[in-house]
A and B are shown apart, each in its own frame.
Chain A
Amino acid sequence: MTYLAKPALHHPTLTHNRVGYTRRDYEGRISTLCAGCGHDSISAAIVQACWELDIEPHRVAKLSGIGCSSKTPDYFLGAAHGFNTVHGRMPSVLTGANLANRDLLYLGVSGDGDSASIGLGQFANAMRRGVRMAYIVENNGVYGLTKGQFSATADRGSKSKKGVVNNDSPIDLVGLALQLGATYVARGFSGDKAQLVPLIKGALGHGGAAFIDVISPCVAFNNHGGSTKSYDYVRQHNEAVSRIDFITTRDEITADYPPGEVVEVEQHDGRHLRLRKLRQDYDPTDRYAALSYMNDHQARGEVVTGLLYLDPLATDMHSALHTTDTPLNTLGVKQLCPGDKALDKLNASLR
């Protein structure tokens, strides 16, 4: 946690992106989280991703639930509207916001308690509906604000700081997202920014429900020996299956990978995403293969990271609902009200 605000004055050498913003323009208020908290690294990755994607900060809507992770939207994209909703219910609020204005980018930030414990139902149903959003769970397996109780993602057999052993099976949000129809599913690690930034960029540009589970160690309550969500544990067991690159029109597409190793996808935002496989036996466009690969490796205690599944032809809730291209919140009485004459006819039909 930083107690001193960085000066608002921007250093003249800071680089501007194509929409004229420096990276500093994507920052928010000073974080109130603990020093070394994984969540702050994720906020930094979001800042980096949005800057690199040339997103105007105010065209993003940030929504969260309740908890440490859900406080973070105040700490990035200060020029964007944010909504800290109720515990476990961010997905429905984000869904409604998205229905109202399909032109904004929706970033949902949640935690493992928020999404896997109290909010599992809303998490599941938002994935089912294909709400276009980047849904990030900052997963530390523990309740921070209430001082260290297990959440539903804590691994069975893992030990709390007080020495309590968790006897319940963990909920694997990545597995659920895959089963429930999310069209972009990834897992990252807050300690690996190089991997995380492209994952967030890919999610923000995706045309449907994008989910990233980010293992984000809690330095206060879940970073000790016996925890499976600590920096050390994740570093030792991290198995990355893919790397993402983004190709802009300026970049030359070089074929320096063996055929079959690279998947190229045109994203909803028009960018081309190039997915490089790091494992021979892994196919990121096969939902069920991804699920089975993950299960196998998880059983061995490995933390599979990277972009795990991508549906290149993803569609979203609006296409299912045939909603007009014009955001609903801009329609006025002329577009919405059938008028007096139609009402007269209707009255006549009720006599």
Chain B
Amino acid sequence: MKPIEAINDFVIKFANVNGSGSASANELFAKAILRMGVPVSPRNIFPSNIQGLPTWYEARVCEQGYQGRRGGVDMMVAMNPQTWDADLAEIEPGGYLFYDSTRPIPASRFRADVQVIGVPLTDISNTAYTDPRQRQLFKNIIYVGALSVLLDVEAAVFEKLFAEQYRGKELLLDSNVRALHLGRDYVTQHLPAPLGIRVRRADRVGDQIFTDGNSAAALGCVYGGATVAAWYPITPSSSVPEAFQKYCDKFRVDAVTGQNRFAIVQAEDELASIGMVVGAGWNGARAFTATSGPGVSLMTEFIGLAYFAEIPVTIINVQRGGPSTGMPTRTQQSDLLSCAYASHGDTKHVMLLPEDPHECFEFAAAALDLADRLQTPIFFMTDLDIGMNQRLCQPFVWDDQRDYDRGKVMTAEELEAGKDFGRYKDVDGDGIPWRTLPGTHPTKGSYFTRGTTRDPYARYSERGPDYIYNMERLLRKFATAADLVPQPVLRPAALPTLIGVLYFGSTSPAMQEALDQLAAEGIAINAMRLRAFPFPASVKAFLDEHTTVFLVEQNRDAQMHSLLVNELSVDPAQLVKVLHYDGTPITARFIAGYIRKVLQARSLAQGKPNLKEAA
């Protein structure tokens, strides 16, 4: 079997043991390739455990910049004996196996069609270090060093990364550099290098940043002016409030008094966390919670209250595999329906659908503005793939001229001047009423907030006309929301076509790659990336302009399909569902393969000789 040869285009997967300190070594490896100017997109694959069980880190190196998961593994770094067989089986024919050769492994446990590279990592580490913890941690750096020679990554790049990371901690700096060279020296002296797959310096990274969606969302909440965060720990969202705490400690502590310009409460459950956010929003502070599907299920009664009583709330939902406890450490887009229509009675909620950390930052700040403007819950729908993996993306941007949109809050001066205040009255025609904050004026503007029906002046009323007025106004407000939310992004095909595709969120990188592949085969498809719910008019227009529209989602039941059919009265026959929901991130291979297959079947059915004509 001929070994795979590929420069700047391969997938390397690290099979590690949870809690062994491999995560930082693997990140170091990925960052080094980025510093070589070559894009990398890593993904953590981990079960719901803390220590001692398998965990994987899969990094795709791709000069063209495709960041979706590719599928297949060209090189396996097999550091976990527990998963040896499965890891070995995953390697593409002609691929590479890197392993710790300290202990002999019988020939029968290898594959003939895979290049085997053994480095006695434990031996090298144990010889160099005596402390057991150091032996473990530096073994990781030693394998990074060994790999750097095999894949032709410059030592200087690592040395610079270490220097940045351990500035002022010279002891750590020196010992890491030493470990790196232990690995490098062994390979240089004993093995042929570089391999057929390797890294070559390029210039494809530019000023992009490398970060995860949860941190980015937290930073967006800091920039967007959130002052209250209430949360309950749940995978994969816990790192949002934790990052919020970290950034607040950095940016929001008063230099003179040492007091905090924020309040973070870890609540006793999701009912309490959303309750606190509702209370803070009612009282005029920007507040958010971060959770995942099961948390949203618990919050739904409060979400209905916030919808009906019209209280600004921001809910970050980092989606995972459902239903029930589902797949807590796997990714899905399967909470669309449970969020869009959360709670009993007739309700509809705004959802934002970021594609990467850059948009996580932007949309988190936007969500806080929208919540105040629309006085309603705003769902920020990300997922584990975006939230917990570092991704190369455009740098964060903030305009210092920007002020927060606090929406329609009537002031004491306006009340004093005799401005009419009807808490649930539509005075501007956009369905959005005015509100007052508690404590504003001694005699004017107070009202009683409730989940029961009321008249435009917030007085309890079960009269049919009052109820209808209110419900119709809420619909009008929802229509207003469609113009205020992030608008869809269109990627037109090079040639005119009647085939379209709709996609959203973490599907984005795989979709870009699939579109390029299909275009190269002569299949022209116009693509629209949905960025929010409710759907702006341009979504309906897009559907009207195409005879067939593929809809790519990461859930079983085509939940976005339901939303489109329900909200836009689309003919379901016009939409072709492309569904990926095994918990792994969707790939370009899957999307392109599915679309190709459907179009092929159609061209055969129509007796047309090729795909292009069918399209």
For window 254-281 of chain B, which residues contact chain A by CB distance below 8 Å?
Answer: 254, 257-265, 267-269, 271-281
A325 touches B259 (CB 8 A): yes
A316 to chain B, nearest CB (A): 12
Taking the nearest CB of chain A, how far is it from the CB of B226, in angstroms?
8
The answer to whether A333 and B396 touch across the interface, beta carbons within 8 angstroms, is: no
Residues 256-283 of A, flagged 1 when their CB comes within 8 A of B and 0 if not, give: 0000000000000000000000000000
In the bound complex, residues from chain A placing their C-beta under 8 Å from that of B205 are 351
Q: Is B446 a contact of A78 with CB atoms below 8 Å?
A: yes
- Shortest C-beta distance, A254 to chain B (Å), equals 36
Decide if A329 is an interface residue (CB 8 Å cutoff): yes
B210-A351 in contact (CB<8A): yes
Q: Is the CB of A57 within 8 A of B442?
A: yes
A325 — nearest CB in chain B belongs to which residue?
B259
Interface string of A329-351 (1 = CB under 8 A from B): 10111011111101100110011
B446 lies within 8 A of A58 (CB): yes
* B278 pairs with A82, CB closer than 8 A: no
B142 within 8 Å of A (CB atoms): no
A73 interface residue per 8 A CB criterion:
yes
Q: Are B272 and A59 in contact (CB under 8 A)?
A: no
**Contact call A347/B209, Cβ cutoff below 8 A:** yes
Which residues of chain B are within 8 angstroms of A95 by Cβ–Cβ distance?
230, 265, 272, 275-276, 279
* Complexed CA–CA distance, A302 and B135 (Å): 68
Interface majority SS (helix, strand, loop, mixed), chain A = helix
Selected from B276, B399, B403, B438, the residue in CB contact (under 8 A) with A99 is B276
Nearest B residue to A81 by beta-carbon distance?
B438
A323, B264: Cα distance in complex, Å = 10
CB-contact partner of B279 in A96, A324, A343, A346, under 8 A: A96
**B538 interfacial by beta-carbon distance below 8 Å:** no
Is B207 positioned at the interface, with any CB of A under 8 Å from its CB? yes
Q: Is B404 on the interface with A (CB-CB < 8 A)?
A: yes
In chain B, positions 206-244 with a C-beta closer than 8 Å to chain A are: 207-211, 219, 222-223, 225, 227-228, 230
How far apart sit A333 and B460, CA to CA, in the bound complex (Å)?
36
B129 within 8 A of A: no
Report A-chain residues with C-beta under 8 Å of the C-beta of B606: none
Partner of B283, one of A56, A61, A333: A61
Measured between beta carbons, the chain B residues less than 8 angstroms from A81 are 436-439, 446-449
Residue A100, interface by CB 8 Å: yes
Interface size class of A (residues with CB under 8 A): 35 or more
Hey, which chain B residues are within 8 Å of A125, CB to CB?
267-268, 272
Closest B residue to A94 by CB, please name it.
Answer: B279
Known: A99-B276, A343-B223. A58 touches B284 (CB 8 A): no
Q: Counting chain B CB atoms within 10 Å of each CB, which of A97, A103, A124 scores highest?
A: A97
Interface: A122 (CB within 8 A): yes
Q: Do A96 and B276 touch (CB < 8 A)?
A: yes
B440 to chain A, nearest CB (A): 7
> Cβ of A328 and Cβ of B222 under 8 Å apart?
no
Residues of A within 8 A of B399 (CB): 340
The yes or no answer to B397 lying at the interface (CB within 8 A) is yes
CA distance A321 to B208 in the complex (A): 36
Judge whether A220 is part of the interface by a CB distance below 8 angstroms. Answer: no
Given A93-B278, A122-B271, A343-B397; A83-B222 close (CB under 8 Å): no
| Residues on B with beta carbons closer than 8 Å to the beta carbon of A323 | 259-260, 262-263
Residue in A closest to B302 when the chains form the complex, CB atoms: A86
Q: Counting CB contacts under 8 A, is B287 at the interface? A: yes
- Chain A: minimal CB distance from B466 (Å): 17
* A to B contact number (C-beta, < 8 Å): 226
B282: chain A residues at CB < 8 Å are: 83, 93, 96-97, 100
Contact flags (1/0) for A215-233 with B, using CB distance below 8 Å?
A: 0000000000000000000
User: Complex formed: what's the CA distance from A335 to B253 in Å?
Assistant: 10
Complexed CA–CA distance, A101 and B287 (Å): 12
In the complex, the answer to whether B261 meets A329 with C-beta atoms within 8 Å is no
B448: chain A residues at CB < 8 Å are 73-74, 81-84
Indicate if the CB atoms of B439 and A332 lie closer than 8 Å. Answer: no
The answer on a CB contact under 8 Å between A324 and B259 is yes
Segment 364-407 of B: residues with Cβ below 8 Å from A: 395-400, 402-404
Closest to A93 in B: B279
A 94-137 to B, binary, CB cutoff 8 A, 1 in contact else 0: 11111111011000000000000000011011000100000000
Closest CB-CB distance, B595 to chain A, in whole Å? Answer: 34
In contact, A58 and B442 (Cβ under 8 angstroms): yes
Q: By the criterion CB–CB under 8 Å, are B279 and A336 in contact?
A: no
Residues of B within 8 A of A328 (CB): 227-228, 261-263, 280, 285
* CA–CA, A181 and B278, complex, Å: 25
Which residues from chain A contact B446 at a C-beta distance below 8 Å?
A: 58, 78-82
A324 to B260, CA, bound (A): 5
Query: What's the nearest-Cβ distance from chain B to residue A81, in Å?
Result: 4
Contact of B451 among A85, A325, A333, A343 (CB under 8 A): A85
Least Cβ distance of A180 to chain B in Å?
A: 12
B258→A336 contact, CB < 8 A? no
CB distance from B309 to the nearest CB of A (A): 8
Q: Does B441 contact A (CB under 8 A)?
A: yes
| Alpha-carbon distance between A99 and B302 when the two chains are bound, in angstroms | 18
Residue of A nearest to B31 (CB): A351
Partner of B269, one of A121, A339, A343: A121
The answer to whether residues A333 and B403 also contact, given A92-B276, A350-B211 and a CB cut-off of 8 A, is yes
Binding site for A on B (CB under 8 A): 34, 205, 207-211, 219, 222-223, 225, 227-228, 230, 251-252, 254, 257-265, 267-269, 271-285, 287, 301-302, 305, 395-400, 402-404, 436-443, 446-452, 460
Q: Which 7 A-B pairs have the closest CB atoms?
A: A96-B279, A92-B275, A100-B285, A96-B276, A81-B438, A329-B284, A100-B283
* A-B pairs with beta carbons under 8 Å apart, 14 shown: A73-B448, A82-B449, A83-B282, A91-B275, A96-B281, A96-B282, A99-B263, A101-B285, A121-B271, A332-B403, A333-B225, A336-B225, A337-B222, A350-B395
Apart from A100-B284, A321-B264, A331-B261, 19 more pairs, CB < 8 Å = A61-B283, A81-B439, A81-B446, A82-B447, A85-B278, A92-B271, A92-B274, A95-B230, A95-B279, A97-B283, A321-B263, A328-B285, A331-B225, A332-B403, A336-B222, A336-B225, A343-B396, A347-B207, A350-B395
